[in-house]
Structure 1
Amino acid sequence: MNQLADKMGTMNVGPGYGYNSQGGTNIPTVALMGVAPRVLDLDMPPPAINLPANSSITDSLHANCDPSYKRSTLNAIPATSQLLQKSRLPFGLVITPYRSVKEGDDPVPVVTDSIIARCRRCRTYINPFVRFVEGGQRWKCNMCYTLNEVPSSFDYDSLTQQPVDRWQRKELNHAVVEYIAPTEYMVRPPQPLVHLFVIDVSYPSVQCGMLATAATTILESLDRIPDDEGRTKVGIITVDSSIHFYNLNTRSGEPQMLVVSDLEDPFLPQPQDLLCNLKECRPTLENLLNRLNDMFKDTQAIGNALGPALQSAHKLISPIGGKILCLQATLPNLGGGALKVREDPKLLGTSKESTLLQAGSSFYKTLAIDCSKTQVCVDMFLFGSHYSDVATLSCLPRYTGGNTFFYPAFTAAKSEDALKFAHELAEFLSQRIALEAVMRVRASKGLRMSAFFGNFFVRSTDLLSLPNVPRDQSYSIEVSFEDNLTIPTVCFQTALLHTSSYGERRIRVLTLALPVTNSLADLYQSADQVAITTLLASKAVERGMSAKLDDARDALTNKCVDILGVYKTHLTASSSGATPNLQLSDNLKLLPLLTLGMLKHVALRGGSQIPSDLRSYAMHLFSTLPSQCLIPYIHPRFYSLHNMPENCGTIGANGIEMPITMNLSSERLERSGLFLLEDSQNIFLWLGRDAVPQLCMDLFGVPNCESVRGGKTTLPVLESDFNRRVNLIVGKTREMRRTSYYPQVYVIKDDGDPALRLWFLSHLIEDRAEPMMSYHQFLGYLKDRVNSY
């Protein structure tokens, strides 16, 4: 029966067609109530972009931007602000300018001849949507319509001294392109890659094993740190109640420790040799990393002066710029930036909870802004046995373009904890990132960027300062109208000026063209539910931190009601009176489910049981994860493993075959089954209490269900076919999310630890979980609101 229910749940009877009061093509419409949501469609591409004929000057398949780099919440743009307001649809962009390129992906084309054609008025880069006029001597900008001279070298290759076909130029055929920037794009020589580690060596850091794991991982990752030009620099500062610097440029090869105890006015003990060329100081650095844990293994210091240590680190690398990687296992309690435990259980779940989600000290935001001005990025690796104040310390990455990683209750004695941290740090160190960057998004006349969400500092009204652009970090931007549009097509162009890990100054340009419409039906038919969810998640986080979590939850629900209400009123036959069902266009049918997923998520969920550290970290992920990670973080993927088809977990034409995604409902669980659920951060294996001994033996190598150890685990590698297939599925799950995050595996036994069981079940968002509604109850609530709309 369960298998039959699975098949029925994934069947699509086919959408009906909504009444289009404005004429034109009817919209494929879906009735939401009474049927399980078709979750397979979360992996569908966004609605097609239907540009007018000949919008692009070449017929290249790559002329418009791939959604993995940039996508709009609307793939048809309203001609007027009144139409946008009437639609109630959010209007914005989701940009992942430096997404990772995996095997099989097309690399970003690079223009190497230093010819950069830009509009003389609005500074737009030439792209596939411009127009050549006057016999090809001039080009008309597709943003402001200014006529510009075509550069004299545009049709000539200076290297081969031969004419070239301009229609083959990369910038006219590709929406995503990168230029090697000439000297006028530099205010100084390109910055080398700089890694300055600030490592907590106080008693808690040594006891939990963070220090030993960090030292070993950095040592083993030295060959993976990008250093093609031999310019990469490294340095190490350790901190407890004092700040310890290390001279890595000694003749003896022995690192020299220099201790600064003045926390009121921290200074650099010597001007040079604290930051050294990686190749030149490699033996001394290895020597230090090998001995680091032993140097502090007997420490009794519980004080930590993170603030002064970060000020010193900033002084050290600010002349060059670079990355400060801070590994912190203690709440800072000495000197500037000292913090106190703010966690107050009485505030959790109340209107004052948002005070715990805001920074507890202005010190770190002020320092972050100083860092941003000098092209210094701070990344935080936080390890907490108790309280870490993620809300305050994540300010540093937020305003410097960095990343926050959080390891609650970390202990290296658990091999899974040590492996997760070591994997994430090693991947992070090996990434080819963009340095000393600024990003600007330009739009066709009549549109402007009005709000920005993500990790950066807004330097002027629309210029984002990013000392560091990590791989796969996402940014959301809200768009508003300045004037009505009288053009058939609008364009958005993102320009990211940066220094590559190879030491080249480059400009990455992303161009997205979208049609303009006067039809409300076209707006709804073009709306991208994934991009809408990504933008709404960022807006909800900002509202929850600046006002109240209740306000954030209400805003999400109200937006959903507005969209359903407008659709009912203007785009269905039952435009007035009570309606027995909720209807929505086929491409938006999962928006209510994703909204419920956000409302039930740790980042926004009500209740008094969620520690502020966990909530703050979840909010950080809401604001920075790319869509391919954020959507499963909101709506996890759920698979049945015990009865999956034989081809699942084997290598097919498109890589490892995955099982069919199931609805997030406990109705799908079987007492004798094995299920996998993943949310891009964790992987859960649910084992039914009546699982047969053969399954336990094949997967875990133990004779029965009672012998399986629940909780955080590492799957054994056995000779059985089933074990091999499950391990491949787990590996594929980790690999397909692209980022540095390494999801841990938890075994959840149906009759095991109640806390683990409850954690797993909280991800089944279609179920009722007090005081939150089930999906069908939520639809009923939305219907009542819409009927009174």
Structure 2
Amino acid sequence: MASPSQQLPPGWQAEWDAGNQRYLFIETATGRTQWEPPVQGPTAPIDSVAPSVSPPPAHSTSKRRQYAAGQTQAYYGAADGIAAGFEAGYGGAAPQQQAQPQGQLFTPGLAGEQLFAGQQQQQPAYYGPEADYGGGPGYVQQQQGPIYGQQLQGPPGQAPQIGALADQFGQMGMGMGGQKPLQLQTINLLTSPPDPRELSRPPPEIRLPPNACLSPNPAANADPSYLRCTLNAIPTTSNLLNKSKIPLGLVITPYRSLNEGESAVPLVTDTIIARCRRCRTYINPFVQFIDGGNRWRCCMCNMSNEVPQLFDWDQVRNQPGDRWARDELNHSTVEFVAPTEYMVRAPQPAVYVILIDVSHTAIQSGMVATATRTILENLDRIPNEDNRTKIAIICFDISLYFFSMPPGTTESTMLVVSDTDDVFLPKPTDLLVNLTEARASLEALLGRINDMFVENITVGSAMGPALQAGFKLMAPIGGQIMVLSTILPTVGAGALKNREDAKILGTSKESNLLQAASPFYKTFAIECSRAQVSVDMFLFSSAYQDVASLAYLPHYTSGQTYFYPAFNAARSEDAIKFAHEFGEVLAMPIMLEAVQRVRASKGLRMASFHGNFFVRSTDLLAMPAVPQDQSYAIEIQIEDTITAPFVMFQVAVLHTTCYGERRIRVINLALPTTSNLSELYASADQVAIATLLANKAVERCITHSLENSREAVFAKLVEIFSAFKAGMTAAGAGASAQLSISENLKMLPVLILGLLKNVGIRQSAQIPPDLRAYAQALLTSLPSQLLMPYINACFYSLHNMAPEAGTVGENGVIMPVPLPLSSERLERHGLYLIEDGQTMFLWVGRDAVPQLVMDVFNLASYEALRGGKTTLPVLDNPFSQRVNAVIQKSREMRRGVYYPQLYVVKEDGEMALRLWALSFLIQDRADVMPSYQQFVNQLKDKVNGASNGY
């Protein structure tokens, strides 16, 4: 018998739809579909379209699902069935004036008028619940257009001609599918100074082809605070991407915290999980239902899959359910409760082993007293809803101190292990105890630990053996180790030596100080990762502590490093900062024993990964714990020409909640494809680009050198501007007096300048290695919302802020308008706030009027003011309350546990403090680093030079 494929263009196939008694023509590369022409008359034979082709045998439909009344017709596409579907809640009353053409694919969720009239209409833009710094609200615009699959043109009773097919397919939404492309707006950076408010705007709009999405829900595509791409239109070829010079990558924050008023991620509890049987993609709002609703076509690989039997069944009410109301078809981010086949063991409880340094230095600094008090105060906040949480306390100096806490008593016993060469557990039970059962003895112990060691004169640290002991204690289960250390590890495994050498700072050898000095930390981290153990480091040293080596543990176990240089609890500001951050970490709900994989449409490949995890296989990221608001960056390669009108990225994180439930979090991002260079530039997301480049810069510091890293970052910026000039401006390859770029990239140079001036990679011979290593840990783990101010601080003028600034508006405290980061804005009588999410400076001009000093500091004059760390008083006057409100809002407005300390800086005060504050004003010249104006001129010269040989 003849096959329909003999009459179709290459790359198309025919699939029999038993429900409609039709063949569905499918383009295998893109998944686009086209019905065969309608049957002419009730008795017209099937072979009027495809002569001598028989329909599939009758038994092929024997397993067809029986839908509830009213659903069957809706799925099969009969006009009266659709009317019934709309009556049942698909979007309003069914229009009566026009019937749907037979043989047309039914696309649910559209307004009835759009569905029948086939007119392209535009939904209003949607702004997400909050304006995240560096990305703003999730901006998704859904557009509905003509339904795919109009009748093929051609004489009745004849097979469709290839030419007619081609014409028809050309109208089906190739490329942008009839969408208006993003308009490129070019600006001259030499005459357009950077405006800090630009960074609070949303990324370029995502314009998907018509009918790409099943759902009109504006939350159907990923919010940039979860998942964002450096390009919001994906080039169809690697040549086009190379021509633009823009790096292609994803920035992922899979477990971001929720601000007040934000909706939780929807949870699918029925354990009905539909996945593609070829590529294992989870069903999402961008798949396509075919075969009368019985099958779905994967948006990644175009495989046709059966819809699970219970997909349309409401298990709560035990009745037929509404498919189109399912969360996984309406939300970009969703969690599934995982069935047993997703588990290799029962979900683990939350387990915390806290290692506390009790050496002389730790006791004297007040760290031990502050830490134990913080744990005690936060016991009720530690995740323990299922009463399965376990906890252990191990203290260490040059020996290890274990505590046996029998349940049902307030007594505890200290067991000392002084053999640090061969670590063992002195008792098999009562060391790792149930938090609920042993609460009384744990509280009593925490109240006594500081007193036990208050006269300890031991100087030395067996941190490595303590880590090994903690690992032995929890390895069968997994969990979190929290290490609190004040000095360099000196005893046993992982012992380190002071390698700080001022002579090599600022030289090519400095990068050696940013690598681990001992292989113990990487090998032990990989052991931890294998056993589902995560490590967080809290470091307090006033001397060299080798943060670079110790940070390897959090880096490979998906933990985090926290650094408190020269910590002294006698200063209330130090104690408050540590207590706040440690308490937030203890109370943080975390994902446990997690693995993450990112899938992408055909032709795209995940090339390299940046962040805190261990790459277990080519693309499987092992994360023993996923803390909230930790970010990861992935570079992407285009391997084959992309022919689909849009591409998909899907992040899947299989994890156990800290409440003992196995879940899968799925985040979906659909982006249109383009072969247009101008559209590529118009879709570029400068915040995502800067985040990816920050990750790459840190990696290059360690593999090459700091100088090489800075050169590579600047060279990438030159490449982007040179490519834009050559491809998008009239100057082409010639010299130009302008420095042109698309408006959506106008802040990229100032972000790159901020990165180059950041402590993590800045050229300087004065930066201690510990501070540099900690800054690099932040650059590779902060989400974009925190990273942008970290490299491009916020700068506010407080003495003349608008009357409403610092007062409470509809969306909370109203912030002042941010200023450009230049000392030109500093007035001698002014009061300014400079903050980067980690540190805050209150700059007071030398001519500040006495009334301002009195209102803010409760002091008689500027001369009475002292610079340094401070806690600002809240005084009984409106200006004091507004200034305090702005400072408090700055501390609360971003995600994460960080509590920035406040420093008062007098204009004529301590030199070191002034220089530190002024280093945040990145548009000024500092040391060997150029001002912003010098930087863009240097960039222009490089671009003109590169263009000549481009």
TM-score w.r.t. the length of structure 2 is 0.80
User: Where do 1:728-743 residues align within 5 Å?
Assistant: 728-743=885-900
The answer to whether the aligner puts 1:40 opposite 2:197 as a matched pair is: yes
User: Where do 1:251-650 residues align within 5 Å?
Assistant: 252-650=409-807
Letter in 2 for 1:435: L
Q: Tell me by how many angstroms 1:450 deviates.
A: 0.7
Q: Tell me by how many angstroms 1:228 deviates.
A: 0.4
* Among candidates 38, 47, 54, match of residue 211 of structure 2: 54
Is the CA contact (8 Å cut-off) linking 2:753 and 2:932 kept in structure 1? yes
Q: Tell me by how many angstroms 1:284 deviates.
A: 0.6
Q: Tell me by how many angstroms 1:26 deviates.
A: 5.5
The aligned residue for residue 724 of structure 1 is 881
Letter in 1 for 2:472: K
The aligned residue for residue 3 of structure 1 is none
Q: Tell me by how many angstroms 1:106 deviates.
A: 1.7
The percent of aligned pairs where both chains have the same amino acid is 59
Q: Distance in 1 between matches of 2:388 and 2:426?
A: 24
Letter in 1 for 2:258: V
Is the CA contact (8 Å cut-off) linking 1:388 and 1:613 kept in structure 2? yes
Letter in 2 for 1:58: S
> Once the two structures are superposed, what CA deviation does each residue of 1:250-273 show, in whole Å capped at 9, x if it has no partner?
665211011111111100011111
Gaps in structure 2 of 5+ consecutive residues:
1-179
* Among candidates 692, 705, 708, match of residue 862 of structure 2: 705
Is the CA contact (8 Å cut-off) linking 1:250 and 1:256 kept in structure 2? no
Is the CA contact (8 Å cut-off) linking 2:250 and 2:688 kept in structure 1? yes
Letter in 1 for 2:245: R
The answer to whether the aligner puts 1:140 opposite 2:333 as a matched pair is: no
Letter in 2 for 1:282: R
Q: Distance in 1 between matches of 2:914 and 2:899?
A: 22
The answer to whether the aligner puts 1:67 opposite 2:227 as a matched pair is: no
Q: Tell me by how many angstroms 1:717 deviates.
A: 1.4
The aligned residue for residue 391 of structure 2 is 234
Letter in 1 for 2:461: N
The aligned residue for residue 925 of structure 2 is 768
Letter in 2 for 1:384: S
- Report the CA distance shift for 1:141/1:252 in structure 2 as closer, same or farther (over 3 A): closer
Aligned length: 767
User: Where do 1:747-762 residues align within 5 Å?
Assistant: 747-762=904-919
Q: Tell me by how many angstroms 1:578 deviates.
A: 1.2
The answer to whether the aligner puts 1:692 opposite 2:849 as a matched pair is: yes
The answer to whether the aligner puts 1:154 opposite 2:311 as a matched pair is: yes
> Once the two structures are superposed, what CA deviation does each residue of 1:129-188 show, in whole Å capped at 9, x if it has no partner?
000000000000000110000001011112322111101100000010000111111111
Q: Distance in 1 between matches of 2:358 and 2:733?
A: 67
Q: Distance in 2 between matches of 1:325 and 1:770?
A: 39
> Once the two structures are superposed, what CA deviation does each residue of 1:651-685 show, in whole Å capped at 9, x if it has no partner?
00111000001000000000000000110101110
Is the CA contact (8 Å cut-off) linking 1:492 and 1:513 kept in structure 2? yes
Q: Distance in 2 between matches of 1:295 and 1:240?
A: 13
The aligned residue for residue 835 of structure 2 is 678
> Once the two structures are superposed, what CA deviation does each residue of 1:673-728 show, in whole Å capped at 9, x if it has no partner?
00001101011100000000111111111111111221110011111111111111
Q: Distance in 2 between matches of 1:58 and 1:437?
A: 29
Letter in 2 for 1:204: T
Name which one, 1 or 2, has greater alpha-carbon Rg. 2
Letter in 1 for 2:730: A
Q: Distance in 1 between matches of 2:192 and 2:631?
A: 33
Secondary structure of the corresponding residue to residue 508 of structure 2: coil
Is the CA contact (8 Å cut-off) linking 2:408 and 2:438 kept in structure 1? no
Is the CA contact (8 Å cut-off) linking 1:439 and 1:464 kept in structure 2? yes
Q: Distance in 2 between matches of 1:665 and 1:593?
A: 12
Is the CA contact (8 Å cut-off) linking 1:402 and 1:469 kept in structure 2? yes
The aligned residue for residue 17 of structure 1 is none
Q: Tell me by how many angstroms 1:770 deviates.
A: 1.8
Q: Distance in 2 between matches of 1:336 and 1:219?
A: 30
Q: Tell me by how many angstroms 1:767 deviates.
A: 0.7
Secondary structure of the corresponding residue to residue 198 of structure 2: helix
The answer to whether the aligner puts 1:188 opposite 2:345 as a matched pair is: yes
Q: Distance in 1 between matches of 2:690 and 2:406?
A: 51
> Once the two structures are superposed, what CA deviation does each residue of 1:234-264 show, in whole Å capped at 9, x if it has no partner?
1000001111110011665211011111111
Q: Tell me by how many angstroms 1:751 deviates.
A: 0.8
Is the CA contact (8 Å cut-off) linking 1:456 and 1:464 kept in structure 2? yes
Q: Distance in 2 between matches of 1:274 and 1:330?
A: 25
Q: Tell me by how many angstroms 1:607 deviates.
A: 1.4
The aligned residue for residue 111 of structure 1 is 268
- Report the CA distance shift for 1:24/1:390 in structure 2 as closer, same or farther (over 3 A): closer
Letter in 2 for 1:642: H
Is the CA contact (8 Å cut-off) linking 2:190 and 2:936 kept in structure 1? yes
* Among candidates 354, 361, 366, match of residue 197 of structure 1: 354
- Report the CA distance shift for 1:151/1:698 in structure 2 as closer, same or farther (over 3 A): same
Letter in 2 for 1:176: T
Q: Distance in 1 between matches of 2:182 and 2:552?
A: 49
Secondary structure of the corresponding residue to residue 249 of structure 1: coil
Secondary structure of the corresponding residue to residue 934 of structure 2: helix
Q: Tell me by how many angstroms 1:34 deviates.
A: 3.6
Secondary structure of the corresponding residue to residue 713 of structure 2: helix
Higher relative contact order (CA 8 A, sep 6+): 1
* Among candidates 400, 408, 421, match of residue 243 of structure 1: 400
Letter in 1 for 2:428: P
The list of structure 1 runs, each at least 4 consecutive aligned residues, that deviate by more than 4 angstroms after superposition, is: 23-26
Q: Distance in 1 between matches of 2:494 and 2:195?
A: 49
User: Where do 1:170-185 residues align within 5 Å?
Assistant: 170-185=327-342
Q: Tell me by how many angstroms 1:24 deviates.
A: 7.7
> Once the two structures are superposed, what CA deviation does each residue of 1:301-324 show, in whole Å capped at 9, x if it has no partner?
002111011011101000010000
The aligned residue for residue 9 of structure 1 is none
The aligned residue for residue 70 of structure 2 is none
Is the CA contact (8 Å cut-off) linking 2:408 and 2:437 kept in structure 1? no
Secondary structure of the corresponding residue to residue 437 of structure 1: strand
Letter in 1 for 2:356: I
